Amino acid sequence: MKRTLRRFFKVCDEAGLRRDEVVSDVDRDGWDGERDIEAERPHWLASTAEFPEQVRLIETYGWKGISIGLMMQPANFPSVMLKCDALDEKFAQAWIDVVHEGMYSRPILSQRDRTLIMIADTISVMELTQATYHMTNALRLGIPPREVLEICFHSTVYAGMPKLYSAWIFKDLCAKHGVSPTDG
């Protein structure tokens, strides 16, 4: 990560941007000081019927990370959270705090953008199980199928031709959801 940040700041320097223009301060309540559970609850894409343990897990781990998971990753978050909880509560707490409440709640990128990035990342490392989850989440978030398909194509350019297999996985996933991969 240090190498990536050094390169990023070098590019910023070359573009004549000051560090304080690209890095913003976080207030003492963090990125999510103004969040409200009741405002977020209508945006949860996994219902209590699909995820009956959500009340207990919110009581155990706090609502902010759980809420982000339910808004961004309804296809896989509930089962992953339950598995982490059953395996090790301290790990589950760290995972929810760092990944969901920490990284995914940062307002710099939208949930939509983060979802598209996760699709590209998982395709690039050929983690097609996770890619399928994130593609499903994208459809549930209302991201046009054509944009997800384009991510599959674009990842092929940078990560290699075998990654094109993700496009066929997405085509099958779209058929299962009753949409065309070229919609939108």
pLDDT single digits (tens) 86-124: 999 999 999 999 999 888 888 888 999 999 999 999 999
pLDDT of residue 46: 87
pLDDT tens figures, 44-77: 988 888 899 999 999 999 999 999 999 988 888 9
Q: Which of 75, 179, 64, 70 is nearest to 129 (CA)?
A: 75
Instruction: Please provide residue 12's backbone torsions phi and psi, each rounded to the nearest 5 degrees.
Output: -60, -45
Residue 65 makes CB contacts below 8 A (sequence gap 6+) with 96, 97, 99, 100, 101, 102, 105
